[in-house]
Amino acid sequence: MYAPTSTNSPRSGPTSGDHDALTDFDGAGEILRAWGNGLRPDPDLTVSEWADRHRMLSGRASAEPGRYRTVRTPYMREIMDRLSPGDPTQRIVFMKAAQVGATEAGNNWIGFAIHQAPGPMLAVQPTVELAKRNSRQRIDPLIDESPELRERVKPARSRDAGNTMLSKEFAGGILIMTGANSAVGLRSTPARYIFLDEVDAYPASAEEEGDPVTLAEARSLTFAHRRKVLLVSTPTIRGMSRIEREYEASDQRRFFVPCPHCGAMQWLKFDRLRWQKGRPETAEYHCEGCETPIAEHHKTAMLEGGEWRATATAADPTTVGYHLSALYSPIGWLSWERIVRAWGAAQGSDEAIKAFRNTILGETWVETGEAPDWQRLYDRRERWTSGTVPAGGLFLTAGADVQKDRIEVDVWAWGRGLESWLVDHVVIEGGPDRHDAWSELTALLDRSWPHERGAHLRIARLAIDTGYEAPAVYSWSRAQGFGQVSPVKGVEGFNRSSPVSGPTFVDATEGGKRLRRGARLWTVAVSTFKAETYRFLRLARPTEEEMADGAAFPPGSVHLPHWVENEWLKQFVAEQLVTVRTKRGFARLEWQKLRERNEALDCRVYARAAAWIAGADRWPDEKWRDLEDQLGAAPTDPDPAGQINRPGQAPQGKRRSDWLGRRGGWF
């Protein structure tokens, strides 16, 4: 039987007499100090304290380079500190105006997590391209300008798969950056921290796999109470805004600031900003308590004395919500005078007022969506030569709606400011199963319409719906070439960042053979263009006397010809926007039909999408001037075949594709 002995083994470590000998060499002191520093715990900082101590702003990414100072935007302190691990809050919602420092606060959180509380983090932008841009313009400078981060995140290398434009590895965690349009990116990895930026610009669904916010937040559920989710956005449309819905479900905090005269605490409202008519520089804020005017130079002290106060009870106690308008913008950023000037410049344009409410006030826009009276449109019809493009029209697009027994096509002319004229309405009998119907549609692409200035215009781009007999639409579109024809798929919902997305490649069938990725499909947020059309129809028009004095139609005006019939007009206003309640009690906007047939409205939406795809929403003034010059110039020199060509007219005897490539378009 084994019995332990009492013999002592020699010590493996040095004895006290040997200690001095082990440290008696050059550099021993530095090693001991480094070892001691390694044993010392990191300081228990909040996110705002970390930013003030370690964050440096680069001249590449900031208008005020140098050390970050939370005191510059005091309203961001509490929001950032809610993101600290020691705070029990799990979800932070921030509905705000543009340019109030929210994105930099989110980047402070990213830096804090890398340095102080490492873990997997997911940062989501509206699209993958925006995520790449944010990585280059924001995240790379964040790391490069902060030594504590630079030593923890290795620079991107071709052989280092963990550190790329969209992923940054660091000890204890990884930062994944992706777009809300990428389902793969949203479900790629579990994440303790989730930063959802500009959520109102997210698509309704990430590649048809569901709501991007829901997909992203699902990545954090396994972290339970340790997770942190930050949702940030300027709002868009009432009933469709994600950030408004989240804010209304929160405790709805407002930033209360003291009056420098009476001390009354209040949150700033636009209707209390007053100025002398025509003199924005006189803008002052009138206190709710004493009605004394407050000059803007008091704003710095007011912000320093401000505090967030809840104005509601949250449905979820782990969620807090904040709202902030640009009225709080620090001195040197957006002044009250500039806000007043922006308000004045927006008058007369629903679209401009909508942008003001969204980006300056941080509030949603209420879309009426009320269908205009078709009889009013009938009375407003205009007379110009039938089949002729009026002088203001600079290029043509068409929208085609495929039905079981016919294909309906509307041709629209577009001018500056998206002013538009209905040029032609064509009904091709027979539907998609009739070969001759497609031949007639092809002939329409070859047709030209005379312009009032003497040129002839062809259709720059035709958008055709794929909702019925999509394989036949894809096959015909391939045969015509995607440079002039765009198959489209309508989806419900509004999309602020891009009402048209794509193209995405889909399978097509040609001659009974399946072609992988053989067609290009564009996705259209039809609600956006329907609401825009109704806004344009409600625009006030100049009277005959005003036009005689040189007054012009406002941008976006819709001109309808005298030959348009009652049935077409009824189809044009066949839907209205209504508010419905979801099972969870949230408000949602939905387009509903007032009558069965609505082809005219659908064709308008597709033609409008075609104009967007052609680039009309993004053309600079030089492009519009070039179109005007082409239509108004004298005939050009004869081409090599001896034919005289007018601007906007394809050279005779040449293929359309040759002319398209040389001229850059069908105008």
- The answer to whether position 258 is within a domain reads no
- pLDDT given for residue 317 in this prediction: 92
Same domain assignment for residues 134 and 209: yes
**pLDDT per residue as tens digits for the range 54-93:** 998 877 767 788 889 999 999 999 999 999 998 999 999 9
**pLDDT per residue as tens digits for the range 321-364:** 999 999 999 999 999 999 999 999 988 777 788 899 999 999 99
Which amino acid is residue 313, in one-letter code? T
CATH of the domain at 459: 3.30.420.240
Same domain assignment for residues 136 and 93: yes
What residues does 232 pair with on adjacent strands? Answer: 94, 197
**pLDDT per residue as tens digits for the range 116-130:** 999 999 999 998 999
Work out the pLDDT band at 37, boundaries 50, 70, 90: low
Same domain assignment for residues 275 and 126: no
Query: Rounded to whole angstroms, how far apart are CA atoms 625 and 620?
Result: 9
CA-wise closest residue to 367 among 528, 571, 197: 528
Query: Rounded to whole angstroms, how far apart are CA atoms 589 and 530?
Result: 13
- The answer to whether position 368 is within a domain reads no
- pLDDT given for residue 511 in this prediction: 58
- The answer to whether position 606 is within a domain reads yes
pTM, 2 dp: 0.66
Query: Rounded to whole angstroms, how far apart are CA atoms 505 and 515?
Result: 11
- pLDDT given for residue 483 in this prediction: 86
82, 320 contact by CB (below 8 A) = yes
CA-wise closest residue to 410 among 527, 572, 618: 572
Q: Phi/psi at 559 (nearest 5 deg)?
A: -105, 125
Same domain assignment for residues 100 and 170: yes
291: left (phi over 0), alpha (psi -120 to 50) or beta: left
Q: Running DSSP on this structure, what letter comes out for residue 139?
A: I
- The answer to whether position 33 is within a domain reads no
Same domain assignment for residues 319 and 303: no
CA-wise closest residue to 477 among 525, 524, 521, 429: 521
DSSP element (H, E) containing 95:
strand 91-96
CATH of the domain at 142: 3.40.50.300
- pLDDT given for residue 643 in this prediction: 31
End-to-end CA distance of the chain: 104
Work out the pLDDT band at 114, boundaries 50, 70, 90: very high
Same domain assignment for residues 151 and 247: yes
- The answer to whether position 650 is within a domain reads no
The first and second tokens of residue 212, run together, are 């991007």
- Judge whether residue 186 has pLDDT over 60: yes
- The answer to whether position 3 is within a domain reads no
Same domain assignment for residues 285 and 318: no
Counting the structural domains of the chain, the total is 3
Same domain assignment for residues 99 and 189: yes
- Judge whether residue 657 has pLDDT over 90: no
Helix, strand and coil percent figures for the chain, each rounded to 5: 35, 25, 40
Q: Phi/psi at 503 (nearest 5 deg)?
A: -85, 155
> What is the average per-residue pLDDT within 278-300?
94
Same domain assignment for residues 72 and 114: yes
Query: Rounded to whole angstroms, how far apart are CA atoms 574 and 372?
Result: 9
Same domain assignment for residues 401 and 353: no
**pLDDT per residue as tens digits for the range 392-417:** 999 999 999 999 889 999 999 999 99
Q: Phi/psi at 336 (nearest 5 deg)?
A: -60, -35
- The answer to whether position 29 is within a domain reads no
- Boundaries of domain holding 357: 270-307+331-363
- The answer to whether position 184 is within a domain reads yes
CA-wise closest residue to 326 among 109, 101, 39: 101
Q: Phi/psi at 456 (nearest 5 deg)?
A: -125, 130
Same domain assignment for residues 59 and 118: yes
What are the distances in angstroms from CA 265 to CA 54, 256, 306, 331, 538? 33, 6, 8, 20, 41
Same domain assignment for residues 279 and 406: no
**pLDDT per residue as tens digits for the range 457-482:** 999 999 999 988 888 898 898 888 88
